[in-house]
Amino acid sequence: MSTLNWRKGCGRKLNVENIGEWSAFLKYLGAMVIILILVGLGYWLVIAPNAQAYEKGVSQEKILRNQFEEQQQEVAHLHAYRQQRVILQHRFGEMQKQLSKQNEMPGLLADISKIGISSGLTFELFAPQPEVAHDFYRALPIHLVVVGNYHQFAQFVGRIALMKRIVTLHDFEIRPYTTEAEPASLSPAQALSTNQSELLMMTLLVRIYWIQQNVSTEARVFTKKVLGEI
């Protein structure tokens, strides 16, 4: 019987003006449609924008958290960095003190010659080369050819290493000394030696360094480069 009533109700022309005459099923169906429309509009107008804002907020939170962790690590290493910077500044200052001054260069060349002679060596060549300019200092290469034995060579190199100024040695080459080549002016001890076949000839490059005058600004800039501030 209810089925017949439902079919009978459905066969009527539906009109909002006669809602009261609708069957209970149609009333429930209309109510459900209205509720679904309201829910859809609510999601579209309220929930969807808020969901997008929430997702954006979560993404921004991750970015800020990563930035905070990076800054926290930088702060944790800041103390160690400052200590390292102080150590580098101190070492760099000490290195600058070991650089010769321009007016000390002649005396430094004479000291190298005296060290060689006092070590028992004979100089066959002592040839300063053109200066090489660097950031705030200059390097003077000197080609040396000396005659002696291994012990005298070692003594010469050791004394050079103990000099208060920075002096570096490069390009060593040691070979037997032969009188067939143009002979050096041997020292008296070498000339009187009955075993001159033990004499050796050593060629090497010596570099001495001197700081340029009025270069405080350049030195400060170079220090900043070394410390990574530029």
Domain boundaries, the chain: 1-98, 100-217
What pLDDT tens digit does each residue of the chain (230 aa) get?
444 444 444 555 556 556 666 667 776 777 787 787 777 776 676 676 666 776 777 778 888 888 877 877 777 777 777 777 777 777 666 666 667 677 778 888 899 999 999 999 999 999 999 988 877 788 889 999 999 999 999 999 999 999 888 889 999 999 998 765 445 555 555 554 545 667 899 999 999 888 766 544 544 554 455 445 54
Task: Give the containing element (helix H, strand E) for 206.
Answer: strand 200-211
pTM equals 0.52
DSSP code, position 43: I
Q: Provide the pLDDT for residue 146.
A: 95
Q: Provide the pLDDT for residue 196.
A: 60
Task: Give the containing element (helix H, strand E) for 139.
Answer: strand 137-148
171, 204 in Cβ contact below 8 A?
Answer: yes
The arrangement of secondary structure in 100-217, i.e. its CATH architecture, is 2-Layer Sandwich (3.30)
Burial annotation 114-133 (CB, 10 A radius, 16+ → b, else e): ebbeebbbbbbeeeeeeeee
